Structure 1
Amino acid sequence: MKCIVGLGNPGKKYEKTRHNIGFMVMDELARQNHWSISQMKFRGLYTTEHVNGEKVLLLKPQTYMNLSGESLRAFMDYFDIDDEDILVVFDDLDLPPGKIRLRKKGGHGGHNGIRNIIDQLGTKEFKRLRMGIGRPEAPVTVVDYVLGDFPKSEAGAVSDSIEQAVKACEAWIEKSFDEVMNEFNAK
């Protein structure tokens, strides 16, 4: 079983914001595979799919970013998902737009959605796919920055990173996470 979780905020207001790049990856993954993330339960939108005998669960928590772990915890409990079978896709200020980075574990790095997941799961031992969004320049605050839309000048890099993230998610369904990290972190 593989569970891929994209983080973001629900609603039209946040749809194209930097903080929602996790949702963007999930939507593109679903679109390319003709899946529909439309079932609502566990305070999230989800779907259950099967790929070459592997059960694949996709989740977009609808709790707003800072409470993402509450939706994921309920989802994991219901489907009996182990920590090692989770991949969380989220925005990262420390990577430039267009860059992705996969990690097996780590801290929250100031990301409140990841902080809540760590609190709810009681562990830092879950896989992550970090999506670069860059850092704001003064006087823009981090909150305003992550809740702002990507500028047109970054559209190509963001689109490329979403495509790479989709490929990485698809690769993880078929391969070990170490293989996926070796392939995609090298780019």
Structure 2
Amino acid sequence: MKKTLLSGSLVAILGITACTDHEIIPPPVPLVDIECLCEGSIETLTGDSTFTYDDTCTYSSTKTISTTTLSDAQYQTQMLNSGMNEGFEIEMRNLYWTDEGSNQPTSTDWQAFFNNAVTNSPNYSTNPVDDGVVIRWTDQNNKVWVSDTTIDCISNFTYNLFTYDSDTTGEYMEFDAVFNCRMINSDYGVIDSARCLTNAHMKSAFRLD
């Protein structure tokens, strides 16, 4: 009987040791699957040229934190080509909040800021203090064009929807937007300083940073 008990104890100890040494690998955490796409047509000196960017999306923000007045933030998303040197950027201005040490707005206020843009389509902003949207296009020569409010071209901007999602990398507001506007740049001289951007369609996201 004692031998039987001893053998059973050894088996139990070995079993416990085996379980302790076995590494348990947790299942992978799924990441947000953000659709990246920007397509449309832009005027050139020789006619309209269509474009499609669907390689890489990036996300950033610019914030001014204040302990005495309202803090503010602008949120950007870029859609770039495979070489990361050409593409479009959308910037949303301006989210204001009372900062209590976190250096960012609450998730609720942040989501409300973007959801409001669906029912109240933003205007194009040409001044950092003006709320609205800014479009930037980096062309094949690495020259940056910026949206303008002059009415030489069709001018509008619409967010079709915003969808909230999150993962281990952060919180996201995914969107689908369509827009038309005038783009300006001074690098090519007066003869080629403005172009019309038409039928633009972009899918990307903003991230809470």
- Smaller-chain TM-score range? under 0.3
User: Whose relative contact order is higher, 1 or 2, with alpha carbons under 8 Å and at least 6 apart?
Assistant: 1
Q: Which has the larger radius of gyration?
A: 2
> What TM-score comes out, normalization by structure 1 length?
0.26
